[in-house]
Amino acid sequence: MAPGAPIIDLHEDISYYFMSRGAGQPFADFDTDVEGRQGDIPKYRRGNVRIVFAAMFPEQDVYGARSSEGLYGLKGRPPVEPSPAASRLLLLDHVKTYYALAERHGVEIVESAVQARRILESREWRLGFVIHLEGADALADPLDLRLLYRLGVRSVGLTWNHDNRWAASAATRRDYGLTAEGEELVKEANRLGIIVDVAHASQRAALEAIEASKKPVMASHTGLTTWVDTPRNITPEILEALAKNDGVMGVTFITPIIFPGGRDEGMEGVARRIVEVVETYGSRVVAIGSDYHGLLDIKPPKGLESADKIQGLLSKLAELGLGDGDIRRIAYENALRIIEANLPG
């Protein structure tokens, strides 16, 4: 495998990093190569990361009166719930953050498939953001997507870790799947040219969204339940549905959902799981979805501490026997296929 293949990362919480003053990492401007920070422009340049799905996580929690077991049934968590009204205001601040980064540091906001391909094929290194909404809680109506589209949003997740009017989340207590309004949201996304993401959705919601979509769907940052049996991961049934849909799963670097017991098996452990997917489902269904900047107090796998280390993962895949074509698909071609199938030309 020729070194330096361009990389598309299907999920990074860059705006959250700035709006939370570092998200637990060293805090500095984006053009500085900061030790201990998972991604910044020098690291993307060094690792030939060309396109990042730049997530907006506009959640504002409020303390609730009713008792709660917390996410995924974890006990001892405070009973907090999101405030949709606050989320709608925060959403605009996330958008402004990405446009400010673009203007200040020469990052391109990717709005078309042609633009994405030009960034990848450029002889000189370029960086583009595909603006992604992580969880549609802030939306009041499917028509809100039209406004977000005009603001440059080209990817939307149905849920984060809370049930909403569109779909049940992976943390749901009762899996009601995709609602009628959620089906309209999927159809509107297809019509506009916005990618649908089923990461964080419940099993039923993910399967129904894939079925409802006329275009390829992604699960942007996830693991498999065969690796770690948690609702946050997708099941083999969902992965099979994605393969039939010509969609893609982005393998995440969230150690507790890819390594049993939360033990760190390092870069090689991630590579072996990717090889497992390729051997079972083929190389067209897998990509990279790191969740950098959104890991908070979770350390990424050893050897994948930051975006410039992803090239090492590609080399490890070659060592484990994957061919050049498979590695190119994982690095960028599968993600580009999703972009080209959804975004306008």
| pLDDT tier, 88 (very low <50, low <70, confident <90, very high otherwise) | confident
CB burial of residue 122 (10 Å; 0-12, 13-18, 19+)? exposed
Assess contact for 11 and 291: CB atoms under 8 A.
yes
- pLDDT above 90 (res 60): no
Mean of the pLDDT values across residues 173-191? 97
- pLDDT above 90 (res 3): no
Return the structure tokens found at 88. 């709608």
- pLDDT above 70 (res 195): yes
| pLDDT tier, 1 (very low <50, low <70, confident <90, very high otherwise) | very low
Give the position of tokens 């303390």: 63
* pTM (two decimals): 0.95
- Return left, alpha or beta for 335; rule: phi > 0 is left, psi -120 to 50 is alpha, else beta: alpha
Amino acid present at 238: I
**What is the DSSP code string of 88-114?**
HHHHHHHHHHHHHHHHHHT-EE--SHH
Q: Give residue 2's pLDDT.
A: 46
Domain 7-342 - what CATH class? alpha beta
Could you report the per-residue pLDDT of 217-226, keeping only the tens digit for each? 999 999 999 9
Question: What Rg value do the Cα atoms of the chain yield, rounded?
Answer: 18
Angle separating helix axes 334-342 and 113-121, nearest 10 degrees: 150
- The dihedral through the CA atoms of 19, 294, 286, 159 has a sign that is negative
| pLDDT tier, 72 (very low <50, low <70, confident <90, very high otherwise) | low
Mean of the pLDDT values across residues 236-245? 98
Chain center to CA of 144: 21
- pLDDT above 80 (res 74): no
Could you report the per-residue pLDDT of 289-330, keeping only the tens digit for each? 999 999 988 999 999 999 999 999 999 999 999 999 999 999
Q: Give residue 168's pLDDT.
A: 98
Q: CA–CA separation, 196 vs 190, rounded Å?
A: 8
Tell me how far apart the 2 most distant CA atoms of the chain are, in Å.
57
Mean of the per-residue pLDDT values for the chain?
94
Assess contact for 97 and 30: CB atoms under 8 A.
no
Q: Give residue 111's pLDDT.
A: 98
Q: Give residue 84's pLDDT.
A: 67
Amino acid present at 101: L
Three-class SS of residue 39? Answer: coil
| pLDDT tier, 70 (very low <50, low <70, confident <90, very high otherwise) | low
- pLDDT above 50 (res 54): yes
Consecutive H or E run containing 79: none
